[in-house]
Structure 1
């Protein structure tokens, strides 16, 4: 049985048990675009539902529905009232978001939990001023684990990435792909299996969780691992402003104090770390899968690309009106302190 499926089954039992204990006054609809066995649906939504139920004494709960709309349409879906909550990957909407690129930069030291908590704190202090999520409530922010290159062709060096047809998710990952000479193909994560299986792409940029969550062990049997990752990916968990406003004041306060912000962000980061652990575990257990760790020489060379991308992103943030250097320094300090 798929390990994420086991997690999903356990989480479903936990949520069912908790909701059966109460008669919820408000049952919200969650739109989720990943598959039913993916970590987002196996761990993250159940974890968030549990937090919401506990904070509101069972008066508010939620139900996940799949396939309502494609990934890039999720924020607008919630704004239009077709769902109450959703998750978005910022890179899927180029030009709409600038601030999230800060947390996607390579070179940060720490896991997804540390990055997600740091992300929320720097969002509150620096990034929220851009109001890029206007029209919705940001319940939590998170990053997945370090992004790596997963390929159906053997990749042993950084130079092997030049000319490689690679699914890039947008954001900093696409900036880096361009600098490394990759031929970028942009499709949503749920499409990566068929994209690789049909040879429409040779590789995909993803964290280790994709080895299990998107079955990359079958279609991308090689992993080229850059210690610390080539990039991170930025996510936001959103609630409809209209839905939030419709709740009684005491429930709004409970959600704001006990769920939204750092509590939700920390839980989401912990979940990303868990699904990454599972992804690496199944890769190491697969006899026909190979992990190649970048050499010291390639790590040093990549650090030069990382420095270049960092300067470019900080310039974008500065132009948008953010104290980019202060925000960048804050992320590093917050992650180092955890």
Structure 2
């Protein structure tokens, strides 16, 4: 706890006529639009769960625009905010292990993937220490990513040469194999990127059709069953801030809120968002969803294998038993879906 925060908390306690500390109010940084489900459901849900678990001793407030998306982790390390959500693909070269969950070919929804992600992180990926300097309190992946375009796309061949916003990570690997011309801009910039013609398409999960108004500027969806990839997110916390909390609060947060419970809830939010957006897209009179034909699905399965081999080798080179980690994700997702 910083000196200023300690003094403020002590003063509040004295004013209340008690020797107990007042509620600790943490700052959560978000780079998403205010109405995005990450804010309204994931992070607001996290605040509610922290308050409930600690009897109101720990709460938080969300603040927007404190730093651009790629700077969020460094900001938390510097304690310019206490908690934030990061997208691993925005920082090329900084994360390798996180690409495991992004691979195409996993069978299941975002909830199943997020739970599997947390478990494989604790079993295999945490040893890479890629989040050193911060405390990971939740991991998640959005639902299967599809192609959202401002022109008709009905085959894999149409993706060759298509100017496409790709978010990094496995998305960049898949895009390269498909011949896409990759354009990297943060998610909040996709609307203007499409509207201006700087890109012809974006790859995102279905839910972002509502969050970023893709129904207006990307009226065509080319949907590959299982998705082209999934996107990896972590919610992180400043370690010193966590350590400054009362011991009882730390235990309650660790046992009741952080980790697998929060990861599961994050996945549930992604799934619900995808369902709402699919319904809205199908009801929109000028939007079209085209399912990849069988021949394209078979062709993409081969591309997926090449990307998988590349990424698993990267994990092996980093010191991870990549085959065991990959199998664990598959097994955990299958078990969750049974």
For 1:108, the equivalent position in structure 2 comes to 106
Alpha-carbon deviations, 1:107-159, whole Å to 9, x = none? 00000000000000000000000000011110000000000000001100010
The 1-side partners of 2:298 and 2:195 are apart by 33
The 1-side partners of 2:40 and 2:243 are apart by 28
Find 2:157's aligned residue among 122, 135, 159: 159
Alpha-carbon deviations, 1:71-95, whole Å to 9, x = none? 0000111110100000000000000
For 1:252, the equivalent position in structure 2 comes to 250
The 1-side partners of 2:22 and 2:244 are apart by 15
The 2-side partners of 1:143 and 1:253 are apart by 26
**SS in structure 2 at match of 1:291:** strand
**SS in structure 2 at match of 1:287:** coil
The 1-side partners of 2:293 and 2:111 are apart by 27
In the TM superposition, 1:1-338 aligns within 5 A as: 25-338=23-336
CA contact (8 A) 1:24 1:61 kept: no
The 1-side partners of 2:234 and 2:279 are apart by 27
Alpha-carbon deviations, 1:202-231, whole Å to 9, x = none? 000000011000000000000000001000
Q: CA deviation at 1:24?
A: 5.5
CA contact (8 A) 1:139 1:236 kept: yes
The 1-side partners of 2:50 and 2:22 are apart by 11
CA contact (8 A) 1:98 1:316 kept: yes
Name the stretch that deviates more: 212-221 or 41-50: 41-50
Alpha-carbon deviations, 1:163-185, whole Å to 9, x = none? 00000000000100001000000
Once superposed, which parts of structure 1, at least 4 consecutive aligned residues long, lie more than 4 Å away? none
Alpha-carbon deviations, 1:213-262, whole Å to 9, x = none? 00000000000000010000000001111110111111111111111110
Unpaired runs of at least 5, structure 1: 1-22
The 2-side partners of 1:110 and 1:49 are apart by 28
Across the two proteins, how many residue pairs are aligned to each other? 316
CA contact (8 A) 1:173 1:230 kept: yes
**If the length of structure 1 is used for normalisation, what is the TM-score?**
0.93
For 1:20, the equivalent position in structure 2 comes to none
**Root mean square deviation, CA, Å:** 0.8
**If the length of structure 2 is used for normalisation, what is the TM-score?**
0.93
CA contact (8 A) 1:24 1:58 kept: no
The 2-side partners of 1:42 and 1:277 are apart by 16
Q: 1:24 to 1:170 in 2, by over 3 A?
A: farther
Q: CA deviation at 1:42?
A: 1.5
Alpha-carbon deviations, 1:260-280, whole Å to 9, x = none? 110110010001101111111
**Structure number with bigger Rg:** 2
Q: 1:200 to 1:129 in 2, by over 3 A?
A: same
The 1-side partners of 2:331 and 2:118 are apart by 13
